[in-house]
């Protein structure tokens, strides 16, 4: 069993004719993902590097049976691409693009919640189920199949903690990069619930960072609903108030969103909090 994505998932790439879209479409396919085509209005009927091109998401879904899509289009066009996929009732939509305006993300999330779409991102590395399939840009070379579910706000730290786990001989069930923007549909709580209900996931790793209250809300959820062991890490302990650290959502205002507050809340919820990422495999063992 896997969370959200497995070897049977059929994926289309919106923006496949761009450099990033094609580059990662090939990597996803090489990993084993069923990338069944891509979209580019006006290019329908063509084939590029073995990938059939469709004019729309609906056409691609009808022709291929795809249930998932990943967006690799510029930020200013991401809202239109996302709305097209949501209107076509795509089941899983991942937006990799960074810099999507917050007001656009708010509309995307609103539409996704009203429809039948699970949204991951924007500004995220995507999702990977080791040994089966990946959507996005998480390197397939660092993962290994196993029983640890990983959820992270930070793209780079997603890769780092996965590598730490793999090096320690601890495989992963599914790894989800939820993205660092302040507005998102799939947050820690949704990911934790998925892992809690997944029989293949025995332990969970949660990587947070300063800014917002997502980690504090997750702590409340863990306390009430999560029975599996959770290890965590919060990035940005040295950030100054009002300073954005890497992500639009990683900013501290006064006592809100501090690393100390998040660590305290998660610790009180029973999460083993690491001072450094290399501590996490030790905690889980």
Q: Catalytic residue positions? A: 247
In sequence order, what are the beta bridge partners of 37? 12
Burial of residue 127 (number of CB atoms within 10 Å: 0-12, 13-18, 19+): buried
Q: Are 159 and 144 in contact (CB under 8 A)?
A: no
Q: What DSSP designation does 256 have?
A: B
Q: Is the peptide bond before 122 cis (omega within 30 degrees of 0)?
A: yes
Q: Report how far residue 227's alpha carbon sits from residue 103's, in angstroms, rounded to the nearest whole number.
A: 36
Q: Which two tokens stand for residue 165?
A: 């786990």
CA 174 from chain centre, in angstroms, equals: 10
- Compute the distance between CA of residue 85 and CA of residue 89 in angstroms, rounded to an integer: 6
The DSSP bridge partners found for residue 120 are 94
Q: How far apart are CA 120 and CA 106, in angstroms?
A: 13
């Amino acid at each position: 069993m896997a969370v959200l994505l497995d070897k049977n998932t059929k994926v289309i790439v919106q923006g496949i004719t761009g450099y990033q879209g094609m580059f990662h479409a090939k990597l996803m396919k090489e990993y084993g993902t069923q990338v069944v085509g891509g979209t580019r209005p006006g290019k329908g009927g063509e084939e590029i590097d073995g990938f059939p091109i469709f004019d729309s998401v609906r056409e691609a879904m009808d022709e291929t049976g795809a249930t998932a899509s990943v967006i690799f289009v510029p930020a200013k066009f991401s809202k239109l691409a996302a709305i097209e996929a949501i209107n076509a009732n795509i089941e899983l939509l991942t937006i990799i693009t960074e810099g999507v305006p917050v007001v656009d993300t708010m509309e995307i999330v609103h539409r996704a919640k009203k429809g039948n779409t699970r949204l991951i991102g924007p500004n995220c590395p995507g999702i990977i189920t080791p040994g089966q399939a990946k959507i996005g840009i998480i390197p397939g070379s660092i993962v290994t199949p196993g029983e640890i579910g990983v959820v992270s706000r930070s793209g780079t730290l997603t890769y780092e903690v996965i590598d730490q786990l793999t090096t320690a001989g601890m495989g992963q069930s599914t790894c989800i990069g939820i993205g660092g923007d302040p507005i998102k549909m799939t947050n820690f709580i949704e990911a934790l619930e998925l892992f809690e209900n997944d029989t293949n996931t025995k332990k969970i790793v949660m990587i947070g960072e300063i800014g917002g209250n997502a980690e504090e809300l997750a702590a409340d959820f863990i306390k009430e609903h999560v029975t599996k062991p959770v290890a965590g890490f919060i990035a940005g302990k040295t950030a100054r108030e009002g300073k954005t650290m890497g992500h639009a959502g990683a900013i501290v205002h006064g006592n809100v969103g501090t690393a100390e507050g998040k660590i305290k809340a998660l610790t009180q919820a029973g999460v083993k909090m690491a001072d450094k990422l290399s501590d996490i495999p030790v905690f889980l063992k």
